[in-house]
Amino acid sequence: MMVCLFKGTNSEEPAGKISVINAMRGTTGSLKYFTINSNFAYLLDGMTPTVKEILEKELFTTGNLVKLLSAGDEDTKLIFSTSAAIKKQYTGEKVFFRGLIELSNICSKNCYYCGIRRGNRNPERYLVTEPEVLEAARYALDNGFGSMVMQSGERFDKRYIGYVESLLRKIKAMSAGKLGITLSMGEQTEETYRRWFEAGAHRYLLRIETSNRELYYKIHPRDARHDYDFRLQSLELLRKTGYNVGSGVMIGLPFQTLEDLAGDLQFFKNYDIDMAGMGPYIEHVDTPLYKFKDQLLPKEKRLELSLKMVALLRIIMKDVNIAATTAMQTIDKNGREKALRVGANIIMPNLTPLRYREGYLLYQNKPGISEQIEDSMKNLERQIHNAGCLVGYGEWGDSKHFAKRQTQIQ
């Protein structure tokens, strides 16, 4: 691959401005460019591999991934058709439901992007009651979901850890073991991960949010409670405990570059994740990052970039599970359907009781906060059908990648 580096000279922006925006809009004559970590830019000309040539490779370099992420409309169609074919071959046409319970918005963390961060005094804090959780689990079981997800802010207190353990055991007993359970409750000790695993959870999603250490500390406080290395260690502990392990990132963050996103894809590959949940960054007015809103890509471009990330992850990790996330639907009512078309195979209908949903706004304009589950299911089934997929009713839909990895270990 022929790559040249040059000092940024765009007269509209200062040299060295870190920006993904240039990748989506910038040209200089007939040569496309984009800035990366400092004041340099790749210069892409006819001597670089074509998108078609890159897609035919088994392994992609950072430069390859950056070129794919910056692909124009026609090349993007080729990327999407490639990822769709790989999805059909390796994971099939089925989409699996994970009934979502947003168990609590109480959080010990103070992440700069999140609407339920500890420092935000506006949300009314809540904890879904045991009877409400079990009612939602019963709905999931009776309607053939196969699995559910319990998600919450990050808490480490003994009372909460015990509450989650008790819920897991009661869900398993109520469903006679038929419901699979995913947790997404942040960083915990190895003991807590093991207790929850033994109580019935077998999948765990812990989003890294960005694999770039420098960027991580631009979107989190730099303190003991927001430790990049501990988050990585937590992924290792989850793997050691026996979970299907998932991670994910936000796409279109302030300060983020295409090289960062390429690094995220390589991070997933290197960590050998089993599942992923990622989507566009959507700003929230009650967060520190909101002041950078004018530097963001337009939301439509963030969605476009998110769909490329889904497609490229499907291409490089062919048999993992990938969620079509709610954040995509926030930007485009058919956003999740589009994600299914290009590689996603998991959807999470929200089973959280309506009275709590206003309190779990991680970002603004979150859809479905007043939508009854029956209406939501009609819309989701229509979208899945429109995407040419089938619902895997009554199936756990565990990651085929996890199953393959377990076979290799044995």
Cβ partners under 8 Å of residue 297, min gap 6: 20, 21, 24, 252, 305
How far is residue 263 CA from its own chain's centroid? Answer: 15
CA angle 266, 267, 273 (to 5 degrees): 110
CB of 289 within 8 A of CB of 254?
yes
Q: Can you spell out the DSSP letters for 99-130?
A: EEEEEE---S---TT-TT-TT---SPP-B--H
Domain ranges of the chain: 1-48, 89-409
288 closest CA partner among 325, 255, 329, 249: 255
Q: C-alpha distances in angstroms, 322 versus 89, 238, 273? A: 15, 18, 11
Collapsing DSSP states into helix, strand and coil, what is residue 24?
Answer: helix
pTM for this structure? 0.88
Hey, what CATH topology would domain 89-409 get? Answer: TIM Barrel (3.20.20)
201 closest CA partner among 186, 174, 179, 176: 179
Residue 6 backbone dihedrals phi, psi, to 5 degrees: -150, 160
Q: What share of the chain is helix, strand, coil (3-state, %, to 5)?
A: 45, 15, 40
| Structure confidence at residue 228 (pLDDT) | 98
| Structure confidence at residue 12 (pLDDT) | 34
| Structure confidence at residue 374 (pLDDT) | 87
Q: How many CB atoms lie within 10 A of CB 94?
A: 14
Q: Can you spell out the DSSP letters for 39-58?
A: SEEEEE-TTSPPHHHHHT-S
Distance, in Å, from the CA atom of 16 to the CA atom of 4, rounded to the nearest integer, reads 16
Please give the chain's pLDDT, 410 residues, in tens. Answer: 333 323 333 333 333 333 443 444 343 333 333 433 333 334 444 468 999 999 999 999 999 999 999 999 999 999 999 999 999 999 999 999 999 999 999 999 999 999 999 999 999 999 999 999 999 999 999 999 999 999 999 999 999 999 999 999 999 999 999 999 999 999 999 999 999 999 999 999 999 999 999 999 999 999 999 999 999 999 999 999 999 999 999 999 999 999 999 999 999 999 999 999 999 999 999 999 999 999 999 999 999 999 999 999 999 999 999 999 999 999 999 999 999 999 999 999 999 999 999 999 888 778 778 888 888 898 899 999 999 999 999 999 999 999 998 887 76
Collapsing DSSP states into helix, strand and coil, what is residue 410?
Answer: coil
| Structure confidence at residue 410 (pLDDT) | 61
98 closest CA partner among 251, 381, 318, 323: 323
Distance, in Å, from the CA atom of 296 to the CA atom of 289, rounded to the nearest integer, reads 11
Q: C-alpha distances in angstroms, 401 versus 183, 284, 395, 397? A: 18, 35, 16, 11
